[in-house]
Structure 1
Amino acid sequence: MHASWKGSDVLVIGGGIIGLVTAWRAALGGLRTAVADPDPGGGAAQVAAGMLAAVTELHYGEETLLGLNLASAQRYPGFAAELAEASGQDIGFRACGTLAVALDADDRAHLRELHALQRRCGLESEWLTGRECRRLEPMLAPGVRGGLRVDGDHQVDPRRLAAALLTACERAGVVFHRVSVARLTVAGDRARGAVLSDRTELGADQVVLAAGSHSGRLDGVPAEVLPPVRPVKGQVLRLTVPRPYAPFLTRTVRAVVRGSDVYLVPRANGELVVGATSEELGWDTTVTAGGVYELLRDAHELVPGITELPLTETRAGLRPGSPDNAPLLGPTALPGLHLATGHFRNGVLLTPVTGEVMAAVLATGELPEIARPFSPLRFSPAPSPVRQEQPV
């Protein structure tokens, strides 16, 4: 480190789960680490359902992302145990599996295609008849036409995950600046830290921009380096299964209803999370009557008994979407500035592998092979071709 440079080895801008796991792993690697965020542990994790659904979240054209998702899912049991030991907190990891079901002939055909794609990708999923689905989950509607049982897709409680990461960071010596960042500091063509909204100047050898959907609008970041990240609104409901907790659902259940995804995630404490809308509405985080109605209507078609449960919370959050729905991980064209953002639907799932990748980048400057397809440089403007002089 330069002798005259005062500050941290690493400054992480953003204290959501991605920023926190990056800071924790960096600190464990011996780097003096700071996080700047007015509300660390807040953000999209407070709204997310926490499905670890590498298989059932597979979409056409996202086969490359599948590899990263599967790698992170495989790390989750060990990561959950390590984090629980480091923080003294349980993060609600449940190896409960997922059941994706179809309610009509079109949905059934779509699910059959998804099953074929999963099999081509070497994934484990089992086709069930409607009767077999209801045998697994008796609360399902009689009209369920078939489904996919995926025993490897699990869940975690994102709120507990965020709280445990916050504690683990504090115990590892991470310094928190609970103030928003006004702008990135750039000197000598290199990121050198940040200026906070209270005018505090923070210096750092390396800066990680992990501000979720806000990552694309930080002042001071050169235009050609600014990540192409946008907010995608999601509304989520929480209901409560009354005590004693009858087994309302034993696993995550999801479906496509009228072209919209709906999922129900049962927690061990009796909470039932229902989500999620996907709305391109900029920075709006209003919970709307229409959003709540659509979620309850679709969930009711799937599990009719849901309308008897108390509705205990409605929330809306912003997912950080990227042009290809995949994260931006690692060094940018600006020396000293790294990105860990753009995780879209997969922020919770990708938490373990993101922490590992970013720790390696911060320690060595090199992006691990598993993350190379997700380098921020894939969105950099292509250099102009060099004109070759013709020999005379």
Structure 2
Amino acid sequence: MSATARDPRRPPAWDVLIIGAGVIGLATAWRVASRGLSVTVVDPDPAGGACRVAAGMLTPVSELAYGEEPLLRLGIASRDRYASFVAELEEAAGHETGYRRDGLLQVAFDSDDLAFLDDLRRFQESLGVPVEALTGRECRRLEPMLAPSVRGGLLAPEDGSVDPRRLTGALLVACQNAGVRLVERRADALIVERDTATGVRLDDGAELRAGKVLLAAGAWSNDLKGLPDGVVPEVRPVKGQVVRLRARAPFLGRATRGLVRGSSIYLVPRADGEIVVGATQEEMGFDTTVTAGGLWQLLRDARELLPGVTELEFAEVSAGLRPGSPDNAPVLGASALPGLFLATGHFRNGVLLAPVTADAMAEMLVDGTVPEVAAPFTPDRFEPFEVEARA
């Protein structure tokens, strides 16, 4: 039966249909299914995309920028939920996630970098965010492999990290155990009937119906055919290149972010000896090419901070696409089109914001209420547009 001829009296097959099986889509699916709703998730490459490349830093403090106080509160709320979120997830899935909460060290290579960190510290303290200023010697006491040239730094003691690959692997199992149906196809077009989103058409022509549709497709959130103009804010891809190294002996104790002549770099250790080094930030459209320049930049800055990094085993290099919204903050909640909800635009913070996003979207989808912490990030904060069907 065609979309236009569908019997309106027939109930939808599923309560919620989620487009996108990245960390946001999977976490939300698990939370919604745990609330008793039937859920289907559509994605041709579950647990792929940006979350497979991400380093997994849980660092709302170090990512803070001026004018982003609501995003800081959202990030802290999500970071503070991680311990209970991971404990529940690991029990549900029977898989570890590599979660750690041992602080983040930010270090400065030269005096200009140190001045920037000092300004950042004063801003953080004005917002009541705990952070500790350290001398270069104190930084090296925490991380002995740091170069003697490191001038000083900051310690955010409540920050941490998680392994996104393990995290999404655990979410896939937890979703399956909760009864979530996973369809490994590409969602080609949104089905809209009587000015309401009622499902999607897949790339093989099959149609899936649901009472509510959640678009959580990351950088590809604007690619779905049939989206009325203006319903989804423009979400752009932002490329990031990441290098994975492997240490055979203890090398780095905690996630470390550095400023090297104004250029930012981070190194995130895993329990198995892997060191994730990233990340470039490039506005290159949907290009995921790994470049010699990007690789050189990462290794050059990493070597300035930790000279011994050149002795580590090279394991992998990859590139992913972060979803950036017009204001680089997430878009969470009901769209202007009835039946269509959005959870996209998380930019650099998708892994960090997964717990709070999943909880907020579950509340919106199940109860129809918007949690206070998510209220600044609803789609209606952008200039409204006239809704017109797109071919």
1:151 aligns with 2:157: yes
The answer for the alignment partner of 1:207 in structure 2 is 213
1:238–1:272 CA contact under 8 A, matched in 2: yes
Using the alignment, how far apart are the partners of 2:281 and 2:247 within structure 1? 26
Q: Could you tell me which amino acid in structure 2 is paired with residue 19 of structure 1?
A: G
The residue that corresponds to 1:131 in the other structure is: 137
Aligned counterpart, 1:256: 259
- What residue identity is the alignment partner of 2:270? R
Aligned position for 1:57: 63
**2:170 corresponds to which letter in structure 1?**
A
Aligned to 1:36: 42
C-alpha distance in 2 between matches for 1:179 and 1:380: 33
What is residue 246 of structure 2 aligned with on the other side?
Answer: 240
Give the CA RMSD over aligned residues: 1.1
Q: Secondary structure at the match of 2:341?
A: strand
Give, in whole Å, the separation in 1 of the partners of 2:198 and 2:80.
Answer: 36
TM-score by length of 2: 0.95
The offset of 1:3, in angstroms, is 4.8
Aligned to 1:386: none
Secondary structure in 2 aligned to 1:185? Answer: strand
Does the 8 Å contact 1:225/1:380 carry over to 2? Answer: no
Q: Deviations over 1:24-68 (max 9, x none)?
A: 111111111000101111111110000000111111121110000
Letter paired with 1:79: F
Name the residue aligned to 1:73.
79
Structure 1 residue ranges without an equivalent (≥5):
384-392
With over 3 angstroms needed to count, the CA separation of the structure-2 counterparts of 1:332 and 1:380, relative to structure 1, is farther
Tell me the amino acid that sits aligned with residue 312 of structure 1: A
C-alpha deviation, 1:255, in angstroms:
1.2
Superposed, which structure 2 residues align to 1:238-317 within 5 Å? 238-242=244-248, 246-317=249-320
Separation of aligned partners in 2, 1:104 and 1:94: 29
Equivalent residue for 1:323?
326
* CA distance in structure 2 between the aligned counterparts of 1:379 and 1:229, rounded to whole angstroms: 12
1:231 aligns with 2:234: no
Aligned to 2:323, the other structure's residue is in SS state: strand
Spell out, residue by residue over 1:257-295, the C-alpha distance to the aligned partner (whole angstroms, 9 max, x if none). Answer: 232210010111100000000000000000001000000
Equivalent AA in structure 2 for residue 331 of structure 1 = A
Contact 2:112/2:261 (8 A) holds in 1:
no
CA distance in 2, matches of 1:5, 1:314: 47
Q: Which residue does the alignment assign to 1:85?
A: 91
Moved more, 280-289 or 128-137: 128-137
Q: 1:382 to 1:283 in 2, by over 3 A?
A: closer
**Equivalent of 1:100, from 102, 106, 117?**
106
Equivalent residue letter for 1:294: Q
Encode CA deviations 1:4-41: one digit per residue, 9 max, x unaligned: 12311100001101000111111111111000101111
- Structure 2 residue identity aligned to 1:255: G
Structure 2 contact 231–385 (Cα < 8 Å) conserved: no
Contact 1:182 1:195 survives alignment (8 Å): yes
Shift of 1:248: 0.7
Q: Which is worse superposed, 220-229 or 284-293?
A: 220-229
The question of whether the paired residues in 2 share the 8 Å contact of 1:237 and 1:314 is answered with: yes
Q: Is the 8 A contact 1:12 1:33 kept in 2?
A: yes
Q: Please give the per-residue CA displacement for 1:104-155, whole angstroms capped at 9, x wherever unaligned.
A: 1110100000000110111111001111111111100110111001111100
Q: Which residue of 2 aligns with 1:346?
A: 349
**Corresponding residue number in structure 1 for 2:3:** none
AA at the equivalent of 1:50: G
**Farther off after superposition, 363-372 or 292-301:** 363-372
Counterpart of 1:172, as a letter, is A
Amino acid in structure 2 at the alignment position of 1:219: K
Residue 117, structure 1, aligned to residue 123, structure 2: yes
Which one-letter code corresponds to 2:56 in the other structure?
Answer: G
How far 1:217 moved relative to its partner? Answer: 2.0
Counterpart amino acid of 2:310?
Answer: T
- In structure 1, C-alpha distance between the alignment counterparts of 2:181 and 2:274, rounded to whole Å: 33
3-state SS of the aligned residue for 1:216?
A: coil
Counterparts of 2:153 and 2:262, CA distance in 1: 16
Could you tell me how far apart the structure 1 residues matched to 2:263 and 2:223 are? 30
What SS is found at the alignment partner of 1:356?
A: helix
Distance 1:260 1:337 in 2: 40
Instruction: Answer yes or no: is 1:141 the counterpart of 2:141.
Output: no
Q: Quick check: 1:175 aligned with 2:181?
A: yes
Q: Specify the SS of the correspondent of 1:284.
A: coil
Quick one: distance in 1 between partners of 2:222 and 2:115?
A: 38
Q: Specify the code of the residue in structure 1 equivalent to 2:374.
A: A
Secondary structure at the counterpart of residue 348 of structure 1: coil
In the alignment, the residues of structure 2 paired with residue 256 and residue 193 of structure 1 have an alpha-carbon distance, to the nearest angstrom, of 46
Matched positions, count: 379
Distance 1:380 1:98, change over 3 A: same
